[in-house]
Amino acid sequence: MTDVPDAFRAPRRIGPFEVPAVGLGCMNVSHAYGVAPAPEDAERLLRAALDEGVVHFDTAALYGFGANEELVGRALGAHRDRIVLASKCGMTGVDGRRVIDGRPETIRRTADEALTRLKTDAIDVYYLHRLDPAVPVEDSVGAMAELVDAGKVRTLGLSEVSAATLRRAHAVHPIAALQNEYSLWSRNPERGTLDAAAELGVALVAFSPLARGFLTGDAPDMATLPEKDIRRNMPRFDAANYPGNLRLRARLEEIAAGAGCTLAQLALAWVLSRGGHVVAIPGTRSVEHLRENMAVLDLVLPDEVLRAAGDVLNAATVHGARYNEATLPEIDTERCGIAG
């Protein structure tokens, strides 16, 4: 296990920015997880996050096809100097469909649209949301570097790419953050990007650190999940795999109870223990869960507890792939043969 302080209260770095080890992924208040909450409720959650000490807020042009950026702009625009604001380009909604497009002209246009929606003059961390297989990463990052030169973006990031792609991009312009899925059941970063990020001074920003709600006190009930919830098309939640994963979850609940913490806190602590350059951005629609997540910053768990959790749920024990067969080829880490 990577050597880290006994607690997670010390700030971590994303490029020039110091942030708490836990931020907020804003996607699920607008996108992918069934029916979105009312805009006023979503805004209330974002402002509550600010009050609870969240500094790092992560959104994207894709989320709600622009609606999430607008939401973040409305809720937090007046507090811009208190936050580190991250968004993404390269994957957007076009005519109601999700489209991967890393062409320089698209990146420039998406950035201008994001600035308007976010009500800001500059985005602190701007990610390439997905690698476009039709566009060399050097071309996409080159266009993003122009945004830095123009003062529209402060630092650059990549999302869901391999270590090789990270190195190619970093050679064009310094990369401040690499955002990959990382949790007890999604271990892709351990196949190269976790170490490469540390070597290059890049923050590893872990999205879905709570396994898309699976590692919380409210595991998804597949019988009542809304029709358009993204998890309905994910193999780990299907009828063939979900029961086995629930059995693993029950064992993790026992470990958490023995350690005096919640399952979500155990899962977050495990992710943060993987290195001082790791930052987690769990998403939530609940202020109660938000507070539970932020409380992990003061949590101290013995190494043997974290090790036991990692032994129970990992790439070898999880049932099912991360994404379905149609989606896997879109993701650079998966195309490079890095599964789990």
Q: Catalytic amino acids?
A: 63
List all residues 6 or more positions away from 135 whose beta carbon is below 8 Å from its beta carbon.
102, 103
The torsion angles phi and psi of 216, rounded to 5 degrees, stand at -125, 180
Question: DSSP character for 92?
Answer: E
Q: Are strands 203-207 and 278-281 parallel, antiparallel or unpaired?
A: parallel
Alpha helices in the chain (DSSP H): 39-51, 67-76, 104-118, 137-149, 163-172, 193-200, 242-259, 263-272, 287-294, 303-312, 332-335
Q: Are strands 24-25 and 17-19 parallel, antiparallel or unpaired?
A: unpaired
The two tokens of residue 15 are 């490029």
Ramachandran category for residue 275: left, alpha or beta (phi over 0 → left; psi -120 to 50 → alpha): left
C-alpha to C-alpha distance for 144 and 173, rounded to whole angstroms: 9
C-alpha to C-alpha distance for 69 and 79, rounded to whole angstroms: 15
CA distances to 140, 143, 157, 236 from 146, rounded to whole Å, are 10, 5, 14, 40
Residue whose entry in the numeric block shows the structure tokens 């919380």: 216
Q: How many CB atoms lie within 10 A of CB 40?
A: 10
Amino acid (one-letter) located at 25: G
C-alpha to C-alpha distance for 120 and 280, rounded to whole angstroms: 24
